[in-house]
Structure formats: C-alpha cells, structure tokens
Amino acid sequence: MSILRSRQGYSALVLPVVLLLAWQVLAWRASTPLFPGPWQVAVSIWRLYPQIVGQIGYTLMRAAAGFFVAAIVMVPLGILLGRLKAVGSVLEPILDMLATLPPPAVVPIVMLFAGTGDAAKIAVIAYAAGIPLIMNTYEASKTLHPMATLVARSLRLRRLETMVFIDLPASLPMIATGVRLAVASALLVSVTAEMLLATNGIGVFLQRQQENFQIANGLAAIAFISMVGLIVNDLVQRLERRLLFWHYRSTETQNDR
C-alpha cells in the first residue's frame, strides 16, 4: 500500500495514535482480561511472535498452494472459454451461479469428500480463488477487440500462440483484478478452513486462544494477519504495476488527451 512509502507519514500517524490511546484508556477503565488494551496486545506479540509467525506460515503456504493451483487451471480455461463463444455462453450462467455461492459454504462438502488433510483445505482454497480468476479472465478474453485476432491471423499465428502471445497479455489488466480478489479469497478461506478442520495454522491458533480466554494473544495474531495481508497486497500491487505498466501508462496518456 502506498502508505508504506508515504512522505506525509507523520500526519498520517495522528489518527491511528489517537485511536490507540483511546483504546488504551478504555481498557484501563474496564480493567478485565477480556478487554485488553494495545499495551497487553503488544506484550503478547512480544512473547508469542515466533509461534504466531510459524502458524501463519502454514496458513500462507496453503493459501499460496490453493491460489497457484487455481491460477494454473483457471486462467487458461478462462481464455479458452472466452474464445469458444458457443461453449462460453452456455457455461457463463453456471459460472455466475457458482460466483454467487459464498466460498466458505463449500467447506463442509469438501471436508466430507476429502477429509481434513491439507489436500482438502487446498482444494477449497483453490475453488475460492478460482472463481474470481475464471470470471475475470473469461470476461476479458470474451470482450477482446476483434482486431487483435485479425492481426494474429494475418501474422499466421497458431491458435495456441494467439492465446499465449495475444489473448493472455491483452487480458492481463482484468486478470489482475481477478488476482486481487482471488488473493483475498484465498486468505479468507484458508483461515476459515483451518478453524473448521485443521491441526495447525493461524486459524487454529486463534481458536486455542479463544478457548483459553486469551484475548490479548488472539488480538496479537490478528495484528500479524493484518500485517501479512498488507504485505501480500503490497507485493501483488507492485507486481501488477511492473507487469502492467503498459496498461496504466497507456490509459493515462489517453486520458491526458
């Protein structure tokens, strides 16, 4: 996120600091372990960070595995469906319907099919990440300007070459939108699946803390999740800016005119 390199950092810190102080004051006045203040949370972070980092590692690994499985399957499939108009238009309503199904609702079924191992969790994550990926890729490839295809044909590209060299890069801006949604979705489902059917991961850690009434520890874990999410989002955004500079710069120049 841009605030990581914001030059107006100081003024940006005022509101968060005020909120933290207010929270601390409220916590002091409540003076119960069920309502810890930021200080207690900081202490928990200090004590537990090796454990938290380790557990988040499991969570992230599964989220990443699910995401990549989804990307490898869904991006080519989406481009193919966008090209095969007849097949695509018949399958589109199916996709629309799947898209309206909240991904966590699939967890129980996958749990029954595939048990509670890593494979099951990765499958649910891949499903959850796959839907926004295929929706966006399909939409992009379907609405590509016919000119690109004509150029490809006049250069006598084969179908596969056209998809790799033309359809894929031309679809990338919309695929990037799908990637952002998919990353968020993968993280969400990864944590949810852990809470329902896991032996490790940050979701399990959170649940343990809940069971032991360790609110401050739980909030420490949430703080880590938020940092990790921030970093992942930032990486995705940087990668996108780098790979798609031509898209942003070209739309900028068009807007200038």
Partner 1 sequence: MGSFRLLEILAGFRAIISFLIIIVTWQSIASLGLVPEKYFPSILAIAAGFRDMMMSGELVSAELRTISRALIGVASASMLGIGLAVLGDLFPSFRRGFAPIAALVQPIPPAALVPMAVFMLGLGPKLYAFIVILVTVWPPYFNGVAALASVSDVQIRTGQMLGLSRWQILRQIKLPAAMPEIFAGIRYASSISLIAVVVAEMLAGHDGLGFLLIRKAFAIRIPEVYALMFVCAVNGLIMNTIVNGLRWKFAGWQSRMTGQAA
Partner 2 sequence: MDVVLEARQLAKAYGVGTDALQVLGGISFAVSRGEFVSIVGPSGCGKTTLLFALAGLQKASTGTVTFNGRSVTAPPRGVAVVFQDYSRSLFPWKSNRDNVAFGMVRVEGLSSAQKRDKAQEMLEAVGLQGFEDKYPWQLSGGMQQRVAIARGLASQSELLLLDEPLAAVDAQTRADMQDLLLDLAVRFQQTCLLVTHDVEEAVYMADRVVVLTRRPTVVDHEVPINLGKRRDQITTREDPRFLAARHDVMMSIRSSRTAAPATAA
Which of partner 1, partner 2, none has residue 253 at its interface (CB below 5 to 8 Å by kind)?
A: partner 2
Is 98 near partner 1 (CB under 8 A)? yes
Which residues have C-beta within 8 Å of that of residue 230, sequence separation ≥ 6? 1, 4
240-246 long-range CB contacts below 8 Å, 24 or more apart?
Answer: 240/176, 240/179, 240/180, 243/172, 243/176, 244/172, 244/173, 244/176
**166 DSSP assignment:** I
> How far apart (Å, rounded) are the C-alpha atoms in residues 113 and 108?
9
Binding mask 234-253 for partner 2 (x = CB under 8 A): ------------xx-xx--x
Residue 108 in the binding site for partner 1 (CB under 8 A): yes
Interface stretch with partner 2, choices 8-16, 95-103, 157-165, 233-241 (CB under 8 A): 157-165
Interface positions, 160-189, toward partner 2 (CB under 8 A)? 161, 165-166, 169-170, 172
Distance CA 201, CA 183 (A): 17
Are 55 and 201 in contact by the 8 Å Cβ rule? The answer is yes
Cβ atoms of residues 174 and 140 within 8 Å = yes
Q: How many helices (H) and strands (E) does the chain have?
A: 11, 0
User: CA-CA distance, 189 to 168, in Å (whole number)?
Assistant: 27
Nearer to partner 2, 98 or 244 (CB): 244
Q: Output the CA torsion sign for 145, 147, 148, 152.
A: positive
Binding mask 150-189 for partner 1 (x = CB under 8 A): ----------------------------------x--xx-
Closer CB to partner 2, 90 or 155, in the complex? 155
Q: How many residues bind partner 2 (CB under 8 A)?
A: 22
Nearest one of 40, 44, 68, 66 to 205, comparing CA atoms: 44
Nearer to partner 2, 153 or 238 (CB): 153
Point out which residues bind partner 2 (CB under 8 A). Answer: 145, 147-148, 150-151, 153-157, 161, 165-166, 169-170, 172, 246-247, 249-250, 253-254
- Residues forming the site for partner 1 (CB under 8 A): 1-3, 6, 8, 11-16, 19, 34-35, 86, 89-94, 97-109, 111-113, 184, 187-188, 191-192, 195-196, 202-203, 206-207, 209-210, 213, 215, 218-219, 221-222, 225-230, 232-233
